[in-house]
Structure 1
Amino acid sequence: MTITHDSSTRAFELIAPEIRADLIAAVREDWPDLSDDLGERGVHQMVVFLATSAGADAPMTPSLRVDLFWHAFVLHTKRYADFCTALGAFVHHVPDPGARNPAEARAALNRTRCAISAAGYEIDPDFWPGENTADCSADCSQCHAGCSDSPVNT
């Protein structure tokens, strides 16, 4: 799989500080103990997920924690569209209620982690539980609705 994209730092900088603060505040509604530092790391992990997804040729799925940030960002439609344009591809959010099988969710998460690592990004284990393990906790499953991105070539 060949993935081309901006560095995670450059992609992260595409999200203005006030939008990052809004995303952290929105996620804090579902995750009250979220610190500002952990929130910034969450935005960064969402960025590496989206940057990798923008060039992927197969669907990728976020962890539950990354998905919280993605959901919040999608609601900023203009900013999200501008971000995707800067990445070079619009990353659609695709709910898939049929993808709730735990084994399939773990496999999809592992594929996503591998793609992110192969793209040269660092995986933050606080946002991608189960890294380097054959199993993952219930918290690592993708979005409750089975969210994934849409491959660029589809």
Structure 2
Amino acid sequence: MTVSVLPVIARALITDAEFTSCRSTVMDANPDMPEEMAGRIVEEGLKFVAACATNPTTGLAPSRIVDEGWHALILHTALYAELCERLGSFVHHFPGYDPTDYDPPIIDRTRETIAALGYSADPEFWGPPSDETLVSVAAKCQHAPDCTIVITPKPKPGISRAR
């Protein structure tokens, strides 16, 4: 019998203080964004990282708005490294930007992977990039087929890599 170590609410993957700090990072990068919206963005970023870290061989990508939450997590390097370690794999970021580059099957696969973990992907945050988006974000990334997230497993302690 397998027992999930992930909390039912992705928000619980980090402490209240860490969550508040990440939410503030989103708000700092996006003046006039309501606190509630920034918190939702961070939570979706947490779901995305959990999906990638627990499924390291599956190509996944965030929507542009979710990428903003992921960026906030990454900027908190110690928190991010510890989070990825607890989840099982370090999730590297491979940015790319072409606002016309959008691959719905990758986003669908990412939402399905999030759902398989028991989380509910917020449908308002997982749509295509648009000038009429739910909220404008500072992140200038758009992940697409040629830059689908690929996770490189970290070497285990005591194992050296060939150079």
TM-score when normalising by structure 2: 0.70
Aligned equivalent of 1:105, options 83, 103, 106? 103
Q: CA deviation at 1:103?
A: 6.0
Residue 15 (structure 1) shift: 1.7
From 123, 126, 132, give the equivalent of 1:125. Answer: 123
CA contact (8 A) 1:67 1:143 kept: no
Indicate the percent of aligned positions where both proteins have the same amino acid. 30
Show the 5 A alignment for 1:73-92: 73-92=73-92
Matches within 5 A, 1:131-142: 136-138=128-130, 139=133
Query: Contact between 1:12 and 1:47, CA under 8 Å: does it hold in 2?
Result: yes
- Shift in Å, 1:104: 4.7
Please report how far the alpha carbon of residue 85 of structure 1 lies from its aligned counterpart in structure 2 after TM superposition: 1.0
Q: Tell me which protein shows more helix as a share of its residues.
A: 1
Which sections of structure 1, spanning at least 5 residues, go unmatched? 130-135
Structure 1 residues 96 and 36: alpha-carbon distance in aligned structure 2, compared to 1, 3 A threshold: closer
1:107 Cα deviation after fit: 2.5
Which letter maps to 2:112? C
Aligned twin of 2:38: 39
SS in 2 for 1:151: coil
Larger mean Cα displacement after TM superposition, 27-36 or 67-76: 27-36
Q: How many residues align?
A: 141
TM-score normalised over the length of structure 1:
0.73
Deviation at 1:6, TM superposition (A): 1.1
Q: Is residue 144 of structure 1 aligned with residue 123 of structure 2? A: no
Tell me the equivalent position of 2:158: none
In the TM superposition, what is the alpha-carbon distance from 1:68 to its structure 2 partner?
0.6
- Distance in 2 between residues matched to 1:111 and 1:102, nearest whole Å: 19
Q: C-alpha offsets along residues 71-117 of structure 1, whole Å, 9 cap, x if unaligned?
A: 121111111101111112111112245xx484653232122112222
Q: Which has the higher contact order (CA 8 A, sep 6+)?
A: 1
| Matches of 1:137 and 1:45, distance apart in 2 | 16
- Structure 1 vs Structure 2 CA RMSD: 2.9
After TM superposition, the runs of 4+ consecutive aligned structure 1 residues lying more than 3 A away are 100-104, 151-154
Q: Is the 8 A contact 1:60 1:112 kept in 2?
A: yes
Q: Does the residue aligned with 1:149 lie in a helix, a strand or coil? A: coil
